[in-house]
Amino acid sequence: MDSTVRVVESPFVAPSEPTPRKGLWLSSLDLLIAKRGHTPTFYLFHNNDSASDFFDVARLKAAMAKALVPFYPLAGRLGVDNSGRMEIDCNSEGALFVIARADYITIDEIKDVKPSPELRRQLVPRIEPSSVLMAVQVTFKCGGVALGTALHHASIDAMSAFHFFQTWSSFSRDGDRAAVELPCHDRTLLRARSPPIIHPNTHSITFSISKDQVTALKRRCNGASALLWQCVCVVRRLPPDAEARLTLSADIRRRVTPPLPERYFGNALVRVGVAVAVRDVIPSEALTSIAGRIRAAVRRMDNEMVRSAIDYFQVVEMSGQWAASGTRPETELHVTSWLGMPVYDADFGWGLPRVMSLAESNVGGFVHLMSDGPADAGGVRVLMSMEAANVNELERLLYEALARCTC
C-alpha cells in the first residue's frame, strides 16, 4: 500500500427531495454501540470491460441523493437533545462524498491486503466534522475502483448498512425503476420498559475457510465460532480453571414480540454470552458440545430476555456507567457474524464487487465472520485482531483443526 491518494473533490450530497427535519431518538442499543464511532469498510470493483462510464461520479451522486430521501437520517448529524442525550439531528446537511485517485497501485495488489490503519487511511474517507454520520470515498485505481465507506454505529448496524447500499446501488443501476424497500425509523420500538424489569440471566487476524471446510465443519458441529474460541483459548495458554467467555451479537429483529419491521433501520443487536471453564473448551472432542452450548444460548434470547437486556442498558445509561471500548480480557472473545447478509449485493451498474471487507480491525478479542466472496463462493472470511505473538500459532491450529474436520 505504498501509494499516495490524491483527493480530487469532497462535496456533501443532500437528499434530492425534502425530508423530515427533526431530532431522531436513539435507543439504548444505539447508544451502547455509539462509542465505536464510524465502521470502516470497503468494496473493490474491477472494470472488466473498460466501460467509459465506469463508476460515473455524477451518476453515483444522483443515485445517493435519491437513496437519502428514504434513508434521511444518514444525511443528518449527531447531536444532543434538550436533556443532553445523544440523538440524530435530521437536518439534511448531507453525506460526505470524496473522489480520490491512487495512480501507483492496482486493484489486484490490494485485494488480499489485511485490515490495517494504513488501509483505512488509503481507502476510507476522513470524517470532518466528526458529527457526520456517513461518508464514502470513490478511489479510482488502475483496473478498477475502491469504494470506502464510514457509517457511524449510532445510526445503524450491519443489516441496516447493507440495506442502504442495496438501495443506493439499485438507484445507480436501475434509475427510477429501482425497487426500494422503505426503512422503518421508529426506534421507540426498542424503548426500555417503565419500570425496567431486568432478568437475572441477562448479563450472564484474517483467515479464509474454504467451501469444503465450511461444509465439513457444519456436518460435524455447525460451529465456526466454537472452533475459533477453542483455538484462541489454546494459543493464549489460559489456566484450566479460568472462566472463558464467548459473546456473540444476536439480531433481535425476529426475536421480539411483535417482531420488528423487516426493514427496521437502526441497531437491533443484543450480545449473547457463553461462559465455561477453559478445561471444558480446549479438548478437540469438546467442539460439538461447545457448539451446542452456543446454539442453546442464542435460542434462549426470546422476547423477555431481549426486553430485559434493553431495560438493563437503559439503567446503565442513566447511571452513566457505560463500559469503555478497547481490547477485551484474554479470557474473552467476541464474534460478530455477517454470514447470510447481503454483503456483496452492491451492483451499481458495473458488476458485483470482487471484495468486501473491513478496512481496519484493531480491537483485540473481536472477530468478524463474513462470506469470502459472492454467495455462490461458499467460503468464509475470518477477520480478527489478535496478540502478535499468538497469530502464527492460531493460524496453524485453526487450519489443523479444519483439516481434521474434512478427513
The 3-class SS string of 141-201 reads EECEEEEEEEEECCCCCHHHHHHHHHHHHHHHHHHHHCCCCCCECCHHHHCCCCCCCCCCC
Q: How many CA atoms lie within 13 A of 169 on its CB side?
A: 21
Q: Which span out of 43-52, 277-286, 312-321, 366-375 was modeled with the highest average pLDDT?
A: 277-286
Average pLDDT over residues 241-266: 94
153 is a catalytic site residue = yes
Beta bridge partner(s), residue 245: 275, 332
| Among 56, 174, 280, 347, the one annotated catalytic | 347
pLDDT band at 1 (very low <50, low <70, confident <90, very high): very low
Return the pLDDT at 3.
59
Cα gap 287→222, rounded to integer Å: 10
CB neighbourhood size of 269 (10 A): 19
Return the pLDDT at 203.
38
199 is a catalytic site residue = no
**Which residue is associated with the grid cell 444460548?**
297
63-76 pLDDT, tens per residue? 999 999 999 999 99
Beta bridge partner(s), residue 80: 86
Q: Do the beta carbons of residue 205 and residue 211 sit within 8 Å? A: no
pLDDT band at 207 (very low <50, low <70, confident <90, very high): confident
Among 152, 362, 346, 165, smallest CA distance to 267 is for: 152
Mean pLDDT of the chain: 88
281 versus 388: the higher-pLDDT residue is 281
Q: Parallel, antiparallel, or unpaired for β 206-209 and 380-384?
A: antiparallel
260-312 pLDDT, tens per residue? 998 999 999 998 989 999 999 998 888 889 999 999 999 989 999 999 999 98
Beta bridge partner(s), residue 12: 96
Q: Do the beta carbons of residue 183 and residue 159 sit within 8 Å? A: no
Would you say residue 216 has pLDDT above 80?
Answer: no
Cα gap 345→221, rounded to integer Å: 29
* Cα dist from 281 to 226, 231, 244, 293, 343, whole Å: 9, 9, 8, 11, 31
Phi, psi angle pair for 355, to nearest 5°: -140, 140
| Among 153, 163, 185, 334, the one annotated catalytic | 153
CB neighbourhood size of 151 (10 A): 24
* Cα dist from 400 to 114, 219, 390, whole Å: 22, 17, 15
Upstream peptide bond of 329 is cis (omega within 30 degrees of 0): no
pLDDT band at 405 (very low <50, low <70, confident <90, very high): confident
For the residues of 246-280, what is the DSSP string, one character each? EEEEEE-TTTSSSPPPTTB-S--EEEEEEEEEGGG
Would you say residue 201 has pLDDT above 60?
Answer: no
103 versus 125: the higher-pLDDT residue is 125
Using N-to-C axis directions, what is the helix angle for 211-220 and 391-406, rounded to 10°?
Answer: 70
Using N-to-C axis directions, what is the helix angle for 158-174 and 57-67, rounded to 10°?
Answer: 130
81-111 pLDDT, tens per residue? 999 999 999 999 999 999 999 876 666 766 6
CB neighbourhood size of 78 (10 A): 18
Return the pLDDT at 204.
33
20-41 pLDDT, tens per residue? 999 999 999 999 889 889 999 9
Return the pLDDT at 376.
64
Q: Do the beta carbons of residue 361 and residue 184 sit within 8 Å? A: no
402 versus 200: the higher-pLDDT residue is 402
pLDDT band at 319 (very low <50, low <70, confident <90, very high): low
Instruction: Find the range with the poorest average confidence among 62-66, 353-357, 386-390, 395-399.
Output: 386-390
